[in-house]
Amino acid sequence: MKRIKIFFLLIAVITHVIAQKNVDDVLVQIEKNTTTLSALRKSADAQKVGNKTGIFLQNPELEFNYLWGNPANMGNRKDFSIRQSFDFPTAYKFKNQISDSKNEQTELEYRKQQKEILLQTRNICIDLIYANAMKLEYGKRLNHAQSIAKSYKLKFDAGDANILEYNKSQLNLLNLTNKMELLEIDRVAFLSELTLLNGGMAIDFTDSEFQSTIIPADFEQWYTQAEQSNPVLSWLKQEIEISRKQVSLSKALALPKIQAGYISETVVGEQFRGVCVGLSIPLWENKNTLKYAIANTLALQSTEKDAKLQFLNQMKSLHAKAVSKQATVAGYRTKMNTFSNADLLKKSLDKGEISLSEYLFELSLQYESIDTLLEMEQNLQKTLAEMQRFL
């Protein structure tokens, strides 16, 4: 019996460990199960097929004519022809290159959406870590408040404490109980958001400690990597490449089109067979197409330059903000630990050196410092998440 109990205890522990998930585990799971990414993947695959349309030869033309002769003794006439039109050969090369670039753009757009969903997931996990940490902290405070309330209830019943002190201890307990309930409501809401992102499958996330992340000191090296990983800038780069190929395609389409085929004509006692060759001279159909392609390329180059400048400034600001926040959090944590009076306050209350009102007021300053530190860490993690979005 004892072995069975130990076995089930081990199973429970293992299950609990498996259930524990850090942020990276959640990201992997949601990336696998989210219906949004699944729909975007199918849409991207369909778009890739669509980008491969319209790049092949035009359809061949078949023609058959049957003409009745008049008078009847002339017999009937039968004509048959098959023709194939061709753009200038280089046009097909550029069409294929453009379709490949568009497919790369489609994949970049998918990656952009993927990064947005993962950033959303990471931010929810950060909110959950904050909620879990606050719940643990308020759990300690609630236990302490219950102990204080119970002590003053006994003192009040024994006549050693007045009604004001008793009520204050009860109100303190009430406020902390209410805060615990609100924290649990927030925690459940965040878990529901993760469930929604995870395709309706619940995720057990109880992590209550923020992961320490080293901010890269060399901004230029980090920015180079971030720039290369930015799908928006990569998309613009591909768009410029497409526009350049479009210029080449417009030049190829401005050249004469070729038509070749086979013709057969049959009348009574006679039959003619041969080939036909023709040219389609592009005089008006594609007017201004080349000018537009060149102008569009120049416009896109200016757009890319502006986008790169804006991204550089955004990343500089983000990096500086993260470095400053990290230093502020570290300094605040050190000073808070140095100036903590929690133990001294309890001793002073027990010795009767301070009143309950003074104790709760001073204790609230300690609590406020802890809340501030957790909030600062939460904000720092969200800034870091924004930086990790491009890595």
Q: Write out pLDDT tens, residues 361-389.
A: 888 888 889 999 999 999 999 998 888 87
Classify residue 189: in a domain, yes or no.
yes
77-86 and 270-280 as β-strands: parallel, antiparallel, unpaired? Answer: unpaired
* pTM greater than 0.85: no
User: b or e along 274-312 (b: 16 or more beta carbons within 10 Å of the residue's beta carbon)?
Assistant: eeeeeeeebeeeeeebbeebeebbeebeeebeebeeebe
- Tally Cβ neighbours within 10 Å of residue 169: 24
Residue 82 lies in a domain: yes
Q: What domain range includes position 337?
A: 21-57+71-388
pLDDT for 19 beyond 50? no
Residue 6 forms part of a structural domain: no
The terminus-to-terminus CA distance of the chain in angstroms comes to: 53
Tens digit of pLDDT for each residue in 47-98? 888 888 887 778 888 888 888 877 777 778 888 889 888 787 888 888 888 8
Q: In the predicted model, is pLDDT for residue 216 greater than 70?
A: yes
Task: Give the model's confidence band at 285: pLDDT under 50 very low, under 70 low, under 90 confident, else very high.
Answer: low
Average pLDDT, the chain: 83
In a domain, 242, yes or no: yes
Residues near 388 by Cβ (< 8 Å), separated by ≥ 6? 122, 213
Within-domain flag for 4: no
DSSP codes of every residue in 180-216: HHHHHHHHHHHHHHHHHHTTT--------SPPP-PPP
Please name the helix (run of DSSP H) or strand (run of DSSP E) that holds residue 273, with its range, or none.
strand 270-280
Q: How much is the pLDDT for 20?
A: 46
pLDDT at 191 over 90: yes
Task: Please tell me the predicted confidence (pLDDT) of residue 308.
Answer: 85
DSSP code at position 73: G
Whether residue 7 is predicted with pLDDT greater than 50 in this model: the reply is: no
Domain count, the chain: 1
Q: Report the interhelical angle of 163-197 vs 89-158 (nearest 10°).
A: 160
CATH number at residue 265: 1.20.1600.10
Is pLDDT above 90 for 297? no
Q: What percent of the chain has pLDDT over 90?
A: 18
Give the integer Cα–Cα distance in Å for 375 and 333.
Answer: 12
Q: Is residue 10 part of a domain?
A: no
pLDDT for 6 equals: 39
User: Does residue 5 form part of some domain?
Assistant: no
Domain presence at residue 287: yes
| Least confident range of 32-41, 282-291, 325-334, 347-356 | 282-291
Average pLDDT score over residue span 144-170: 85
> In the chain, which ranges are continuous DSSP H helix?
2-19, 23-33, 35-51, 89-158, 163-197, 219-229, 231-253, 289-338, 342-350, 356-388
Tokens of 332: 């605040």
> Quick one: tokens of 123?
């931010």
DSSP state of 161: S
Residue 122: predicted pLDDT = 92
